[in-house]
Chain A
């Protein structure tokens, strides 16, 4: 399980599983369990395999999912954690002992340098995502996506490639927000039923909409 979890994480796939087992152990926790505490330098770094972890300070800071790592920033910066890490759902993952991890990496500068490269790339992707989220409303993002499903300029019938829950996640919005976005696009002649079939009366109008912006 440890080897699989490490392999699924872009960052920790760099750790040879044969070495990592010496300082890694499986960890399971129920929903609402506080996994790491704010104000402490964590004794372990957590790798999420299944479930989600909420980062909670004075306000909810965000939610991390499978493949993500919690506590690395505080351990490597030798600074107290700025948030509680709370299991949002049942947690299954790997706890990497902080002292063991640091001792291993002390002799493996090559892995640290590779981690810098991966994190830099991930940050670049996040920056692009934020810029896009701020420039385009949910309806605009949905319109842009629907327009990519057909080469047509006028009317078309398209089939969504996944269910609406997955589509919402793919477009970076809640399922309820996706429903509201579909409702907004109805005025532009977009008709979606319960299934995957979507009727578009004017594809060109959708393409024009993606040039606008508001949240």
Chain B
């Protein structure tokens, strides 16, 4: 891994207007005045983060939140003996680091580019300025943090209640395109990362994928073929009943 990522100043976009437009589309800044978004953009920068580059380390000062424009960023923690626990993989258009920036000021995890990535770096000062001058910014920030909390609560619930086979199947069923009938969907990252994201070992993932074959799931590289989405859903959610059916 290389450290640090490229200097923010070296990768500034040609015009701050384009950066403002990108920021204005984020739920975090939606509805803020053009002037307020322009002020945030003026302090922000687009940076390129090559694959396997550490964006920040656990315990480092949280000086900026990051918006993923392209590529993927892996957020993870490490044990003292080097084992990795992937908390989340962020793809466009998502952002992370708000809680650390506005909380105790330290990143609780490491972040590394899983593939070449482009991110917007929004400095802490820009966030604090917006919060103090724009009541709407504080409202949107609470909304964004509440959304993160729901997503993490869902992940905790899955880890606590679902077997490894169910977790893998649910992840596949949540991929874009896994709606109905016979489909082929694409894994967003390699199997090692998938195993880490789902909290199982790489060799356990292989065993789980073998057990999914009789349920009509075949994985080749990044492609996942599902023979019958509804049948897979029924097989892995035996207790779900009509609530899930109604929501599908």
Q: Which residues of B contact A68 (CB under 8 A)?
A: 153
CB of B77 within 8 A of CB of A131, answer yes
Query: Interface code B90-102, partner A: CB below 8 Å = 1, 0 otherwise?
Result: 0000000011101
Indicate which residue in A83, A112, A124, A129 contacts B99 across the interface (CB closer than 8 Å): A124
CB of B27 within 8 A of CB of A214, answer no
- With both chains docked as a complex, state the minimum distance between the C-beta of B225 and any C-beta of chain A, in angstroms: 19
A77 to B32, CA, bound (A): 12
CB of A55 within 8 A of CB of B159, answer no
Enumerate A34-88 residues with CB–CB distance to B below 8 Å: 38, 54-64, 68-69, 72-79, 83-84, 86
Binds B, one of A16-24, A102-110, A150-158, A201-209: A102-110
16 A-B pairs, CB-CB below 8 angstroms?
A: A61-B157, A72-B146, A73-B150, A79-B30, A79-B143, A116-B138, A120-B98, A123-B103, A123-B145, A126-B149, A127-B152, A130-B87, A131-B87, A134-B196, A135-B85, A214-B200
A111 to B210, CA, bound (A): 52
CB of A38 within 8 A of CB of B146, answer no
Take A113-B131, A134-B159 as given contacts and tell me if A55 and B150 are in contact as well, using a CB distance cutoff of 8 Å.
yes
A49 to B76, CA, bound (A): 34
A84 to B247, CA, bound (A): 7
CB of A215 within 8 A of CB of B247, answer no
Which range contains the number of B residues in contact with the other chain? 35 or more
Question: From A123, which residue of chain B is reached at the shortest CB distance?
Answer: B99
CB of B173 within 8 A of CB of A126, answer no
Take A109-B135, A115-B142 as given contacts and tell me if A123 and B148 are in contact as well, using a CB distance cutoff of 8 Å.
yes
Main secondary structure of the interface of B (DSSP, over half): helix
Any A CB within 8 A of the CB of B31:
yes
Take A106-B135, A130-B152 as given contacts and tell me if A32 and B243 are in contact as well, using a CB distance cutoff of 8 Å.
yes
Closest 6 CB pairs of A and B: A76-B143, A120-B103, A134-B199, A77-B143, A62-B154, A62-B157
- With both chains docked as a complex, state the minimum distance between the C-beta of B242 and any C-beta of chain A, in angstroms: 8
Residue among B104, B150, B158 facing the most chain A CB atoms (10 A cut-off): B150
Question: From B135, which residue of chain A is reached at the shortest CB distance?
Answer: A109
CB of B153 within 8 A of CB of A119, answer no
Any A CB within 8 A of the CB of B11:
no
Q: Which residues of A contact B140 (CB under 8 A)?
A: 76-77
Any B CB within 8 A of the CB of A148:
no
Q: Which residues of A contact B173 (CB under 8 A)?
A: 58-59
- With both chains docked as a complex, state the minimum distance between the C-beta of B152 and any C-beta of chain A, in angstroms: 4
Question: From A171, which residue of chain B is reached at the shortest CB distance?
Answer: B160
CB of A117 within 8 A of CB of B27, answer no
Any B CB within 8 A of the CB of A213:
yes
A1 to B181, CA, bound (A): 49
Any A CB within 8 A of the CB of B190:
no
- With both chains docked as a complex, state the minimum distance between the C-beta of B98 and any C-beta of chain A, in angstroms: 8
- With both chains docked as a complex, state the minimum distance between the C-beta of B146 and any C-beta of chain A, in angstroms: 4
Enumerate B59-113 residues with CB–CB distance to A below 8 Å: 76-77, 79, 81, 83, 85-87, 98-100, 102-104, 108-109
CB of A133 within 8 A of CB of B159, answer yes
Q: Which residues of B contact A7 (CB under 8 A)?
A: none
Indicate which residue in B149, B199, B244 contacts A215 across the interface (CB closer than 8 Å): B199
A202 to B119, CA, bound (A): 51
Query: Interface code B130-141, partner A: CB below 8 Å = 1, 0 otherwise?
Result: 010001001111
CB of A113 within 8 A of CB of B138, answer yes
Q: Which residues of B contact A117 (CB under 8 A)?
A: 102-103
A72 to B144, CA, bound (A): 9
CB of B138 within 8 A of CB of A109, answer yes
CB of B135 within 8 A of CB of A112, answer yes
Q: Which residues of B contact A214 (CB under 8 A)?
A: 200-201, 204
- With both chains docked as a complex, state the minimum distance between the C-beta of B165 and any C-beta of chain A, in angstroms: 11
CB of B160 within 8 A of CB of A174, answer yes
CB of B138 within 8 A of CB of A213, answer no
Question: From B148, which residue of chain A is reached at the shortest CB distance?
Answer: A123
A190 to B26, CA, bound (A): 52
Q: Which residues of A contact B85 (CB under 8 A)?
A: 130-132, 134-135
Question: From B179, which residue of chain A is reached at the shortest CB distance?
Answer: A58
- With both chains docked as a complex, state the minimum distance between the C-beta of B128 and any C-beta of chain A, in angstroms: 10
Indicate which residue in A59, A62, A109, A124 contacts B104 across the interface (CB closer than 8 Å): A124
Indicate which residue in B30, B109, B146, B246 contacts A73 across the interface (CB closer than 8 Å): B146
Interface contacts beyond A124-B99, A127-B109: sample of 18 additional A-B pairs, CB < 8 Å, sorted by A:
A57-B247, A60-B243, A72-B143, A75-B143, A76-B142, A76-B143, A77-B30, A79-B30, A105-B139, A120-B99, A121-B103, A123-B103, A123-B149, A124-B103, A127-B77, A131-B85, A132-B85, A215-B201
